[in-house]
Amino acid sequence: VCSSDLWILTESARSAVAAATKKYGVLGAVFYSRVALLVAPTLIQLRITPNAVTVSGFLLFIAGCWVVFSAQSLSLAIVGFVVMHVGVVFDYADGIVARATKNTSFFGSWLDNCSDRAADFVVTLLAGIFATLMFVMSSALMVMKSLWGGIFGQMVRSLGRS
């Protein structure tokens, strides 16, 4: 990254921190935007387009959410949590990369906004699906337990009478 890129990154930092504060409060301002500023120069050097960063961040976030919601162990849930937050960092980095490379566009802004709304929808959908599955499974287990208890209880009582 040359010195002119650093100036653009500094200007991008101000807007990234402001956007992060608005979207995620202190966590966004302190964590996401600052990590995105560390990641952005590498993305620029690799010549990854801002739209590719947006799509990659969205896919990482969705994959992380799926792993978190479907995790069978705590370690797997932690991996999903980390992947999810890498996706959020990429969400911040896309704007920084776009401004630093002077590659901003209406389509890029639209894509970023759509990916944010789609990510919100997918999180809500996955939470609903897994909550429903957990409710159905726990209800089925309670029904099976009561049926098993009733059948087993009848068997024990009938054995005791004979």
- Residues annotated as part of the active site: 116
Q: Is 49 exposed, middle or buried (0-12, 13-18, 19+ CB in 10 A)?
A: middle
Alpha helices in 28-73 (DSSP H): 33-45, 50-70
Question: Do 95 and 12 touch, CB atoms closer than 8 A?
Answer: yes
The DSSP element (H or E) to which 103 belongs, if any, is: none
Residue 16's identity, in one-letter code, is: A
Q: How many residues are there in the chain?
A: 162
- With b for 16 or more beta-carbon neighbours within 10 A and e for fewer, the 86-97 pattern comes to bbbbbbbbbbbb
